[in-house]
């Protein structure tokens, strides 16, 4: 709420959104608290500016790793809490900004056929983003996964989707409380914007610059940001 171009402002006056005017189809946050392995989720179908809980949550929650997003639904009829990001499975929380073209018509059945029974059963909504997360999560080791494992699983899932879809674009964030991976990729379309900034408070990744302070840098297409708690972020090739 505080930065001049905060997530609240990005919901009604985004600067770099290509396919929507506002992001008013809900919002959500995932955050890790001390002593808990799995993230806590808060998701609402209200526009973020209309959610009276936001200010109180912001004052009360203390977290060293958190993700949040506002939503512009690709399909207006998909408005529901089940389709509102972030999604989580075990210690992993996930955000996806982008789309998979012809998901229902030509991609969903193929993607679901690739999923383990466990992951398939965990899909609660109808969005392309949640299905993509299930595909990624199936590629992450169940024990001892680190940032490189998150990145490797995401890159593998993207390659599969690109083989099935006429076009797809991805700005993805994966976090487990100690590691965070953010990447930008696209297939026959323009990838959503992604920026990173580091300072004494930590690493901040955002779709749009949240203020005019120096230090923001754009993440190029087919690049990823990898960060660990207490350490600097590094930029690597996605694949």
Report DSSP letters for 154-220, one per residue.
Answer: HHHHHHHHHHH-S-EEEEEEEE-SSEEEEEEEEESSPPPP-EEEEETTEEEEESS--SS-TT-EEPP
CA atoms of 90 and 119, how far apart (whole Å)? 11
Instruction: Say what the pLDDT of residue 144 is.
Output: 85
CA atoms of 96 and 170, how far apart (whole Å)? 7
84: three-class secondary structure by DSSP? coil
Instruction: Say what the pLDDT of residue 187 is.
Output: 97
Q: Running DSSP on this structure, what letter comes out for residue 86?
A: P
Instruction: Say what the pLDDT of residue 81 is.
Output: 95
Number of domains the chain contains: 1
Q: Is residue 168 part of a domain?
A: yes
Q: Is residue 2 part of a domain?
A: no
- Asked if 99 and 169 count as a contact pair (C-beta separation under 8 A), the reply is yes
CA atoms of 101 and 116, how far apart (whole Å)? 23
Instruction: Say what the pLDDT of residue 217 is.
Output: 97
Global pTM reads 0.96
Instruction: Say what the pLDDT of residue 19 is.
Output: 78
Instruction: Say what the pLDDT of residue 20 is.
Output: 82
Q: Is residue 185 part of a domain?
A: yes
Q: Running DSSP on this structure, what letter comes out for residue 36?
A: -
Instruction: Say what the pLDDT of residue 76 is.
Output: 73
Q: Is residue 1 part of a domain?
A: no
40: tokens are 């806590």
Give strand pairing partners of 168: 100, 187
Q: Is residue 35 part of a domain?
A: yes
> Where in the sequence is the domain holding 177, given as residue range(s)?
7-237
DSSP assignment of 89-103 equals ETTEEEEEEEEETTI
Instruction: Say what the pLDDT of residue 116 is.
Output: 98
CA atoms of 88 and 95, how far apart (whole Å)? 9
CA atoms of 174 and 167, how far apart (whole Å)? 22
Q: What is the CATH number of the domain that holds 11?
A: 3.60.20.10
Q: What is the chain's pLDDT, residue by residue, as a tens digit (239 residues)? A: 999 999 999 999 999 988 788 999 999 999 999 999 999 999 999 999 999 999 999 999 999 999 999 999 878 778 999 999 999 999 999 999 999 999 999 999 999 999 999 999 999 999 999 999 999 999 999 888 999 999 999 999 999 999 999 999 999 999 999 999 999 999 999 999 999 999 998 999 999 999 999 999 999 999 999 999 988 999 999 98
Q: What is the CA angle 139-141-146, rounded to 5?
A: 105
Q: What is the largest CA-CA distance in the chain?
A: 47
Q: Is residue 71 part of a domain?
A: yes
Q: Is residue 228 part of a domain?
A: yes
Mark residue 222 as left, alpha or beta (left: phi above 0; alpha: psi -120 to 50; beta: remaining): left
Q: Is residue 14 part of a domain?
A: yes
């Amino acid at each position: 709420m505080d930065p001049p171009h905060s997530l609240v402002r990005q919901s009604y006056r985004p600067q770099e959104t290509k396919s929507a005017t506002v992001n008013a189809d809900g919002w959500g946050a995932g955050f890790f608290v001390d002593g808990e392995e799995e993230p806590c989720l808060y998701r609402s179908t209200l526009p973020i500016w209309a959610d009276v809980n936001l200010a109180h949550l912001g004052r009360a929650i203390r977290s060293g790793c958190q993700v949040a997003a506002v939503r512009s639904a690709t399909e207006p009829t998909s408005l529901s809490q089940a389709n509102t990001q972030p999604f989580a499975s075990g210690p992993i929380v996930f955000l996806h900004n982008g789309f998979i073209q012809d998901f229902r018509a030509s991609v969903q059945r193929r993607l679901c056929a690739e999923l383990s029974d466990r992951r398939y059963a965990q899909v609660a909504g109808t969005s392309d983003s949640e299905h993509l997360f299930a595909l990624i999560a199936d590629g992450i080791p169940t024990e001892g996964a680190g940032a490189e494992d998150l990145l490797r699983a995401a890159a593998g899932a993207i390659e599969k989707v690109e083989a099935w879809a006429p076009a797809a674009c991805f700005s993805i964030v994966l976090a487990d409380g100690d590691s965070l991976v953010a990447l930008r990729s696209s297939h026959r379309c323009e990838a959503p914007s992604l920026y990173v900034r580091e300072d004494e408070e930590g690493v901040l990744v955002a779709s749009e610059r949240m203020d005019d302070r120096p230090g923001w840098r754009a993440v190029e297409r087919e690049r990823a940001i990898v960060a660990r708690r207490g350490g600097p972020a590094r930029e690597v090739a996605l694949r």
